[in-house]
Amino acid sequence: MTISSAASAFDIDAQDTGNRPAARWFFIYSALKEAILTHAIEPGTKLPEDELGEIYSASRTLVRSALQALAHDKLVTLELNRGAFVAKPTRLEAREIFEARAIIEPTVAELAAQAATPADIERLRQHLDEEHAALRDGRNGEAVELSGRFHVAIAEIAHQSVLTEFVRSLCSRSSLIVALYWRRRDAMCESHAHHALVDALARNAGKDAREIMSSHLVDLLSGLDLSDRPSEPKKLADILKR
């Protein structure tokens, strides 16, 4: 779902689900999460409750619920007397997140290789086609999000629900790190590694999958310049209503 289609869908939802505040709250949460993960909203951007309420024709209570859920996901920070901001991981946090991924994801890849079915492999290959299309069209933010989803999909194939939640959270936070620190266009979307991973899973080659994932994560970290870089501020309403 694109940001613009999300806004249109919410207009319908606001009319059709007036007695379903939970559905409206979750829509705001989902739209903001997508905007953050695709880098439409930059890390550090302020998220004023009143402005978001105007954008989505929603009460501050619903907006606040969405922001609290995003804070639980570590995608938003809530600061006393200042409000909500898109999370801005520090260089230390960036290293710690990728170190955690390096511990967890090679094991997850090995487990996935042991469990993968032909249907799983077909879904992964279709996902790679979407990644390539996003890169080819210059939709870099979407490509980064798809890369994260690819890693989560591997964890789901492993049938390890707890590990999958860890991977999902780490990949979401990695998206913020890429928005801040990447120095290579393919920093999160290195196609050869993803193809090699799918091939290893297709062979049910657990050891190979572990080694490829480990090498891939080292390469991702090396593709980041862990120093701050300035970004041009944008109006929140322009981003979410375009």
Report the Cα 1 to chain-centroid distance in Å. Answer: 14
User: Residues 58-116: pLDDT tens digits?
Assistant: 999 999 999 999 999 899 999 988 999 999 999 899 999 999 999 999 999 999 999 99
- pLDDT for the residue 23: 79
Q: Is the pLDDT of residue 1 over 50?
A: no
Q: How far apart are CA 179 and CA 1, in angstroms?
A: 20
Q: How far apart are CA 57 and CA 34, in angstroms?
A: 19
**How many other C-beta atoms can be found within 10 angstroms of the C-beta atom of residue 51?**
15
**CATH of span 91-222:** 1.20.120.530
User: Residues 150-190: pLDDT tens digits?
Assistant: 999 999 999 999 999 999 999 999 988 888 887 755 444 45
* Residue type at 50 in one-letter notation: D
Using alpha carbons, select from 106, 117, 149, 131 the residue that is nearest to residue 186. Answer: 131
- pLDDT for the residue 144: 84
Q: What is the sign of the dihedral through the CA atoms of 33, 72, 161 and 202?
A: positive
Q: How far apart are CA 19 and CA 7, in angstroms?
A: 19
- pLDDT for the residue 81: 86
Q: What is the sign of the dihedral through the CA atoms of 48, 19, 14 and 43?
A: positive
Decide yes or no: CATH 2.102.10.10 for domain 3-87: no
> What letter does residue 75 receive in the DSSP assignment?
S
pTM of the prediction? Answer: 0.74
Q: How far apart are CA 13 and CA 22, in angstroms?
A: 11
User: Residues 66-75: pLDDT tens digits?
Assistant: 999 999 989 9
- pLDDT for the residue 164: 96
Q: How far apart are CA 87 and CA 230, in angstroms?
A: 15
Domain spans, the chain: 3-87, 91-222
Q: How far apart are CA 40 and CA 3, in angstroms?
A: 9
